[in-house]
Amino acid sequence: MMTVYKVDPLRDERWVAFLERHPGASVFHTPGWLEALRRTYGYESHVSTTSAPREDLRNGLVCCRIHSWLTGRRLVSLPFSDHCEPLVGGEEELASLLSSLKSHLHRKEYVELRPRLQVGALAGSEIGRTFCFHLLDLRPSLETLYRNFHKDCVQRKIRRAEREGLTYEEGATETLLSQFYELMVQTRRRQLLPPQPIAWFRNLIVCTGKSLKIRLVYKHNQPVASILTLRYKDTLVYKYGCSDKAFSNLGGMHLLFWRAIQEAKGDGLEKFDLGRSDLDNPGLIDFKDRWGAQRSVLTYYRYGMSALTKASPAGWKVRFAKYAFARLPSFMLVSAGRLLYRHIG
């Protein structure tokens, strides 16, 4: 068995250098993302590696420990990340890192991995949640990309937005954040869910710097739709989207995606990560399909405490919670998000 060491990714300079070298690294591995998790939810991160303290890092598995009386205790790689690839050289390295993690688990804890690529079945692993994942190849020309968009559901919507004279703004100012968050509260209410706390988005802005952009479109100065994107290496990541349903027919969301694609192409990026989609959300899956993105399966894996991993909230509790979220005043819905999200991860 290989010797495993612990690294603090927020203080060890080798982590940033390792991420720059490793092709599987994403924005979710970066110190900015990890620091935003720490500031907002108190999640402390650590990296398990077989590289000794004075060596360059050859591998790394980054996790945060979640302590929750509501949802249990667990190590997650990583909370609120659509995916987080184990940065390892193969299954032998991954097995050693997982074995070390499991040997230090507290009672009733488990490890959850969220790889974008299939890691293979390892001893003690169970399949957790499964999602759709979409990735758009930006290497073709803009003209080719546009031709690959669904003619009726995307191209026509972009032209409609342009005819409507929707105006576009981007940045990370407090004004843009406030407008984005107001749309987010509306959208999450429609989804029967509370929004994440605004502190999460403020911390992302501070901790990820210029890689984050809030993009908004307006109709006569009225915010219509917004998306939040993050940039890392050659990839643009779509992380959050929200809109005012009263203006949904204007094509605002489609214009936002088109502007993001145009900007990414102009900056020489090669991939547009459209993120995960719940399998029971066919509307969102269809929306991403229509941009010509490649669809794949995103599978999360759990290790240890097999009986616990199969547990799920009672159906009636979920239905009751959604019934309540749909009827709460906005300030109470926002308060519910502040209370609940640290337990979700």
Whether residue 249 is contained in a domain is answered as yes
Judge if 21 and 56 occupy the same domain.
yes
Domain boundary among 253, 269, 285: 269
Judge if 25 and 112 occupy the same domain.
yes
Whether residue 154 is contained in a domain is answered as yes
pLDDT number for residue 122: 64
Whether residue 280 is contained in a domain is answered as no
Domain count, the chain: 2
Domain boundary among 218, 248, 269: 269
Judge if 31 and 151 occupy the same domain.
no
Domain boundary among 250, 269, 288: 269
CATH of the domain at 235: 3.40.630.30
Whether residue 336 is contained in a domain is answered as no
Judge if 147 and 116 occupy the same domain.
no
Q: How do the pLDDT tens digits run along the chain, 345 residues long?
A: 689 999 999 999 999 999 999 999 999 999 999 999 999 999 999 999 999 999 999 999 999 999 888 888 899 999 999 999 999 988 889 989 998 998 888 878 899 999 998 665 566 678 889 999 999 999 999 999 999 999 999 999 999 999 999 999 999 999 999 999 999 999 999 999 999 999 999 999 999 999 999 999 999 999 999 999 999 999 999 999 999 999 999 999 999 999 999 999 999 999 999 999 999 999 999 999 999 999 999 999 998 765 344 444 445 456 667 767 777 888 889 999 999 999 998
Judge if 122 and 145 occupy the same domain.
no
Judge if 166 and 75 occupy the same domain.
no
Whether residue 218 is contained in a domain is answered as yes
pLDDT number for residue 120: 59
pLDDT number for residue 119: 66
Judge if 147 and 222 occupy the same domain.
yes
Judge if 110 and 32 occupy the same domain.
yes
pLDDT number for residue 255: 98
Range of the domain at 29: 5-131+299-311
Judge if 158 and 212 occupy the same domain.
yes
Judge if 216 and 197 occupy the same domain.
yes
Judge if 169 and 217 occupy the same domain.
yes
Cα four-point dihedral sign 225, 41, 297, 17: positive
Judge if 213 and 265 occupy the same domain.
yes
Whether residue 106 is contained in a domain is answered as yes
Whether residue 29 is contained in a domain is answered as yes
Whether residue 27 is contained in a domain is answered as yes
